[in-house]
Amino acid sequence: MRYCLKVLTLLLPGVLWLAAETCQAAMPDKPNILFILTDDQGWPTLGCYGNKLVPTPHLDQLAAEGVRFTDAYVTPQCTPTRAALLTGQHTARNGMWHVIGWYGYPWAPVSEPAFVESLPRSTYTLAKGLHDAGYATACLGKWHLTTPEDGNYVRLKQSAAHYYGFDYSPEPPNGYHHEGDKGVGWLTDQAIGFMESHPDQPWFIYLSHHTIHNPVLAPEETVARYRAQGAPAEGLHNATYLAAIETLDQSVGRLLKRIDELHLRDSTLVVFLSDNGGVEDIYNTEPFTKGSGVFRRLTVGEQQFDNAPLRAGKGSAYEGGIRVPCLVRWPGKTRPETVESTPVHVVDWAPTLWEVAGAKAPADWKLDGVSLVPLLQGKQLADRPLYWYLPLYDLRWGLTPAAVLREGDLKLIEYFGDSVAADGEYVPGRRLELYNLKTDLGETTNLAPKMADTAAQMSERLHAWMKSIPVDIPGANPHHDPARSLLETRQKQSWNP
């Protein structure tokens, strides 16, 4: 576009106007895309979602200028959400339903199916689709999708970036995610630099922060200010956690300001999302990592932020684990101050952004999500069920093998062989839990006993979905050992693939 205008300035004024308009009309409508993914940031951490402990003016501004989703869903942990985001596929289909690297519970009552431990290079990712559509693509920050050959928890290697559709994936300072502001400032600088270096090409920036994941970090002066205001040094709503939220908000402010300074506001789509719910409670890990793996009750070892009115937090099948903040600004397409209550799923973002960019997945690439473009433009989506496949144990979050179905206001959680109650008690046996999210957002009243037929029918549909993928439905573990029933290990056993 810039080159075209340089040539046209040599023409007569009357001809210039006509030729320039023709040139603009021929340009494809490909907005820049800034996708900001934060780590472990819960639904109620922003002012626009009710947080009164930390001012988040820039994120609140983003919400005011676009769409704020009230029912935006991801998976309850980071690797699965990132895989679903980049593939447009449920974890049941892409196989990445477990955090990598490997750990498991080989002797538990329910068998854990094998999971994919590294995203294959052949995967048709969101970035590949956008790259094929002419975008310059950048992966900045946390990766956590492959073996160390291509990247690790901290980042995607530049030498391997092209395998996943990215042009640019810079090497961060050593240990940057374990010191200072946890890399927020450096990542923001990288994103701004990438915008500035591609004035004549649409760009896609996948900005994947490490904040607010443990260890929670923030600039000392910001932490000190919250301490002075009365926030505790540790525990629930501690000063460092509150400071980290503010630091993220300031990063978003810098990004939005620079987009405006570059005159890119009207040509840039901005998405803000978290990879899973916030950390409310972390159970004491000693009984299942250092003990025998046999216990009757888990106790809380650490608390960070109250996810109320949602139940529980990261790692959980409850709303606090899977419902997250989601904001979208797309000038000229989204109506300001829109509050959207339609349930949406992380698998929807790949088809959405491909449609925005005029891209398409290959015919043989199965997509589980749907494009949200109509919804962003004020139209409606057809009613549809939402699914989660969680066939694993991770007792630090109180998770046992489960699957979830949301249909309308009803949400079914099926625990396949055991569960952990709200007070930490370990409960053997299959369990169905049914909640009406419209009247019971906090999932306090299990309706399954009173609505047994409805729960059973939803369970049948949930099983039918798993069979349609197809994927294993968790069942009794032939290697169950009551003497070390819930012992977590990083050592694969002979029967583990």
Q: Which residues pair with 271 in a beta bridge?
A: 35, 328
> Under DSSP, is residue 24 helix (H, G, I), strand (E, B) or coil?
helix
Taking the alpha carbons of 298, 300, 304, 306 in that order, is the dihedral positive or negative?
A: positive
The CATH number linked to 241 is: 3.40.720.10
Q: Which residues pair with 340 in a beta bridge?
A: 69
Summarised one tens digit per residue, pLDDT across range 322-333 is 999 999 999 999
Q: How far apart are CA 367 and CA 468, in angstroms?
A: 14
| pLDDT the model gives residue 128 | 98
Residue 229 belongs to some domain of the structure: yes
Across the range 50-78, mean pLDDT stands at 98
| pLDDT the model gives residue 208 | 98
Summarised one tens digit per residue, pLDDT across range 269-287 is 999 999 999 999 999 999 9
Query: Over 80: is that where the pLDDT of 27 sits?
Result: no
Confidence of residue 26 (pLDDT cuts 50, 70, 90): very low
On the CB side of 20, how many CA atoms lie within 13 Å of its CA?
15
**Count of residues making up the chain:** 497
Domain holding 343, by residue range, is: 32-384
Considering the chain, what percentage of its residues have pLDDT values greater than 70? 94
Residue 421 belongs to some domain of the structure: no
Pinpoint the alpha helices (H) of 292-395.
Answer: 319-322, 349-357, 373-376
**What Rg, from alpha-carbon coordinates, does the chain have?**
23
Residue whose tokens read 């496949």: 389
Query: Over 70: is that where the pLDDT of 301 sits?
Result: yes
Query: Over 60: is that where the pLDDT of 3 sits?
Result: no
Q: Do residues 293 and 299 lie in contact, with contact meaning Cβ atoms separated by under 8 Å?
A: no
Taking the alpha carbons of 82, 87, 89, 92 in that order, is the dihedral positive or negative?
A: negative
| pLDDT the model gives residue 287 | 96
On the CB side of 48, how many CA atoms lie within 13 Å of its CA?
25
Confidence (pTM): 0.94
Across the range 128-133, mean pLDDT stands at 98
Residue 171 belongs to some domain of the structure: yes
On the CB side of 153, how many CA atoms lie within 13 Å of its CA?
13
* Cβ neighbour number for residue 459 with a 10 Å cutoff: 18
Q: Which long-range contacts (CB under 8 A, 24 or more apart) does 365-374 make?
A: 365/88, 365/124, 366/89, 366/93, 367/88, 367/89, 368/88, 368/89, 368/90, 368/93, 369/88, 369/89, 369/345, 372/344, 372/348
Query: Over 60: is that where the pLDDT of 124 sits?
Result: yes
Q: In the chain, count of helices (H) and strands (E)?
A: 14, 16
Q: Do residues 323 and 41 lie in contact, with contact meaning Cβ atoms separated by under 8 Å?
A: no
Q: How far apart are CA 235 and CA 254, in angstroms?
A: 30
| pLDDT the model gives residue 496 | 87
Pinpoint the alpha helices (H) of 304-348.
Answer: 319-322
Across the range 295-299, mean pLDDT stands at 96
Confidence of residue 425 (pLDDT cuts 50, 70, 90): very high
* Cβ neighbour number for residue 371 with a 10 Å cutoff: 19
Across the range 92-96, mean pLDDT stands at 98
Residue 487 belongs to some domain of the structure: no
| pLDDT the model gives residue 354 | 98
| pLDDT the model gives residue 18 | 32
Taking the alpha carbons of 475, 481, 485, 488 in that order, is the dihedral positive or negative?
A: negative
Residue 477 belongs to some domain of the structure: no
| pLDDT the model gives residue 16 | 32
| pLDDT the model gives residue 396 | 98
| Nearest alpha-carbon partner for 41 in 236, 324, 293, 247 | 324
CA 75-213-182 angle, 5° bins: 140
Query: Over 90: is that where the pLDDT of 8 sits?
Result: no
Bridge-based pairing of strands 402-407 and 410-415 is antiparallel
Across the range 381-393, mean pLDDT stands at 97
Residue 145 belongs to some domain of the structure: yes
Summarised one tens digit per residue, pLDDT across range 391-406 is 999 999 999 999 999 9
Q: Count of domains in the chain? A: 1
Residue 398 belongs to some domain of the structure: no
Residue 6 belongs to some domain of the structure: no
- Looking at every residue in the chain, the average pLDDT score rounds to 94
Confidence of residue 263 (pLDDT cuts 50, 70, 90): very high
Residue whose tokens read 């799923």: 345
Peptide bond into 277 cis (omega under 30): no
| pLDDT the model gives residue 29 | 82
| pLDDT the model gives residue 17 | 30
Query: Over 50: is that where the pLDDT of 21 sits?
Result: no
Q: How far apart are CA 322 and CA 140, in angstroms?
A: 24
CA 466-469-472 angle, 5° bins: 50
Summarised one tens digit per residue, pLDDT across range 142-197 is 999 999 999 999 999 999 999 999 999 999 999 999 999 999 999 999 999 999 99
Q: How far is CA 196 from CA 32, 184, 189, 264, 274, in A?
A: 12, 19, 11, 10, 26
Q: Do residues 78 and 339 lie in contact, with contact meaning Cβ atoms separated by under 8 Å?
A: no
DSSP string computed for 31-83: -EEEEEEESS--GGGSGGGT--SS--HHHHHHHHTSEEEEEEE--SSHHHHHH
On the CB side of 315, how many CA atoms lie within 13 Å of its CA?
17
Q: 7 vs 209, which has greater pLDDT?
A: 209
Q: How far is CA 325 from CA 70, 258, 273, 370, 441, in A?
A: 7, 23, 6, 19, 15
